[in-house]
Amino acid sequence: MTRTGARREARWALGTVLVLGALACGSGGDGAVTLPPGGGAAVAPLDVTGWVAATDGTMPLVIVAPHGGDLVPTELPDRTCAGCETVNDANTRALAIEIADAFARRIGKRPFVVANLLSRRKFDANRDLTEATGSYAPLAPLWTLFHQRIDSAKARAARVHPRALLIDLHGHAHAVPRLELGYLLSAANLRLPDSIVTPLMFASSIARLDSSARSGDAGVVLLRGARSLGTRFAQSGFPAVPSASDPAPAVSDAYFNGGYDTQRHGSQVAGPVDAIQIECNYAGVRDTPAARANFAEAFVTATLAYLADHYGWVPA
């Protein structure tokens, strides 16, 4: 098939099945948003700077934790938009911190970490502005600040090394206990034959990597080949989809394929930073301090292999 023909077929496949793709973390999708009381009224500006935590890193990896905050300031209204998800991804900020500490112990270097500190009842840091704030205008500067912090971390990570990776870290409550890796390709996309999935990679959140992986891997091999991130996690004791042993969710399986942050901060549009959403199951991954410490070690092992293989980065 010619490249043009492959692109045409890929766009057909995306257009046909993307509607079936699940959004991140219990999203209500594109439900209508209603203004909370006072949402449109002029009020004094909020000081939002204390609701985002950003820590510097020394390696080409950014970890974002948008759904692990637990602050519920009484001055903020609860989000009441129709269909909005307001349940946190339990312990995912603690997990991000544990992962950063595990990198420091293993290699003496830290990833950049950006975390939203507000409960999802008040703010959803993985949605567009309207749904993130529930149309409460005074929170708009927080949404802007959160993405500025991510943009800054990405820029600095790309100064450490010209190829960098962002992980958007979440938690799911689906029936199958495995990691769900989201590249913006739907479950229906992933169930297609390899020869059809490969040309879809231009629309994935690792589109730049698809054209420039140091390993020479490309296409569907980056999703479920021997050196894919899912396979590396499975080898480290944490089953993942997609991976070599679990190439795609079954038709009956719930699956999150990547949300707003992955769309905005990945490389399907442009830029030197790829993004992957990782949705973590609960038991044995993020439920207890011991589980989080154990998973953090596996995360370091899997991610270091991935960075070495495809980004050409190894700790000095």
The contact set with Zn ion (CB under 5 A) reads 25, 67, 89, 170
Please say whether the beta carbons of 278 and 169 come within 8 A.
yes
Name the residue nearer to Zn ion (CB basis): 23 or 25: 25
C-beta closer to Zn ion: residue 180 or 217: 180
Find, among 188, 290, 293, 206, the residue nearest to 248 by Cα: 188
Extract the tokens encoding 9: 């077929």
Task: Tell me which H or E stretch contains 183.
Answer: none
DSSP string, 151-168: HHHHHHHHHHSSSEEEEE
Q: Residue 115: beta bridge partners? A: 53, 65
3-state helix, strand, coil in the chain (%, to 5): 40, 10, 50
Shortest distance, CB of residue 85 to Zn ion, whole angstroms?
8
Minimum distance from CB of 271 to Zn ion (Å)?
23
Q: Minimum Å distance from CB 280 to Zn ion?
A: 9
**How many residues does the structure list for the chain?**
316
Decide whether 67 or 147 has the Cβ nearer to Zn ion.
67
Tell me the closest approach of the beta carbon of residue 69 to Zn ion, in angstroms: 11
CA–CA dist 68, 70 (Å, integer): 7
Query: Whose Cβ is closer to Zn ion: residue 67's or residue 154's?
Result: 67
Q: Residue 65 or 244: which CB sits closer to Zn ion?
A: 65
Q: How far apart are CA 228 and CA 161, in angstroms?
A: 20
CB-CB contact of 167 with 63 (8 Å): yes
**Least distance from Zn ion to the Cβ atom of residue 125, Å:** 9
For residue 18, count other CB atoms closer than 10 A to its CB.
16
* Residue nearest Zn ion, Cβ-based: 25
What gap in Å lies between CA 179 and CA 295, rounded to an integer? 11
Which of 165, 181, 134, 143 has the alpha carbon at shortest distance from 66? Answer: 143
Q: How far is the CB of 126 from Zn ion (least distance, A)?
A: 6
* Nearer to Zn ion among residue 209 and residue 280 (C-beta): 280
CA atoms of 183 and 204, how far apart (whole Å): 5
Residue 64 or 220: the one with the smaller Cβ distance to Zn ion is 64
Distance, in Å, from the CA atom of 223 to the CA atom of 257, rounded to the nearest integer, reads 12
For Zn ion, which is the closer residue by CB, 25 or 304?
25
Q: DSSP assignment of 245-285, as one string?
A: SS-S--TTS------HHHHHHSSSSSSSEEEEEEEEPSTTT
Q: Using the minimum distance from each CB to Zn ion, give the nearer residue, 67 or 178.
A: 67
Shortest reach from residue 212's CB to Zn ion, in Å: 29
The strand pair at 164-171 and 240-241 is best described as unpaired
* Nearest distance from C-beta of residue 256 to Zn ion, angstroms: 8
Residue 233 CB, shortest distance to Zn ion, in Å, is 18
